[in-house]
Structure 1
Amino acid sequence: MDCRLGCGACCIAPSISSPIPGMPNGKPAGTRCVQLNDDNLCKLFGQPERPKVCGQFQPCPDVCGSTDQQALANITELESSTLQ
């Protein structure tokens, strides 16, 4: 599965513990990454400063669903289940 351009759910819903340019302590779950542009596209895509965890994310139907809203809900649920 390819990412849906402009979705951005994987850059909003999960926490990221590694440094991100502009977010040196990573980002908490539910916080929009500062590297998302107004079209929800990553400004670091393909750049060496992009966090490794972001580059390793592989979209799949179970996580991403069929809409951007489903992806956000699914990733939010997965994130909250890791805190329990």
Structure 2
Amino acid sequence: MHCREHCGACCTAPSIASPIPGMPYGKPAGMPCVQLDDQLRCRLFGRPERPAFCGSLQPSADMCGADRDEAMALLSALEIATRPDAASPPPVGAT
């Protein structure tokens, strides 16, 4: 599978904890990366400045879905499911 034209969901939906040129503290989930151009393509693609996290993402049906909206929903759900606090048990005494 190849990246979908004019999508950019993988550069918007997930949080990125490592520095990105123009975003020294990374980016929160749901915020478009500053490195997305007007065509929603990564300006850092194939460059050494591109964060390792970004390079680790590979387009697949379960990540990209049928269109950009589905990709955003799938990646947002994955972001929530893999948050560090998602796996933590509730605090003692919490109801």
Pairwise same-fold verdict (TM > 0.5): yes
Which structure has more RCO (C-alpha within 8 Å, separation ≥ 6)? 1
Give the match's secondary structure for 2:35: coil
Residue 18 of structure 1: how far off its partner (Å): 0.6
Structure 1 moving runs of 4+ over 6 Å: none
Aligned to 2:25: 25
Aligned to 2:75: 75
Q: Unpaired segments of 5 or more residues in structure 2?
A: 87-95
Question: Highest CA radius of gyration, 1 or 2?
Answer: 2
Q: How many residues align?
A: 84
Q: Unpaired segments of 5 or more residues in structure 1?
A: none
Q: Give me the TM-score of the superposition, normalised by structure 1.
A: 0.95
Quote the Cα distance in structure 1 between the aligned partners of 2:17 and 2:5.
24
Quote the Cα distance in structure 2 between the aligned partners of 1:49 and 1:14.
18
Q: Give me the TM-score of the superposition, normalised by structure 2.
A: 0.84
Quote the Cα distance in structure 2 between the aligned partners of 1:80 and 1:53.
17
Q: How does 1:48-63 map to 2 (within 5 A)?
A: 48-63=48-63
Quote the Cα distance in structure 2 between the aligned partners of 1:26 and 1:6.
22
CA RMSD of aligned residues (A): 0.8
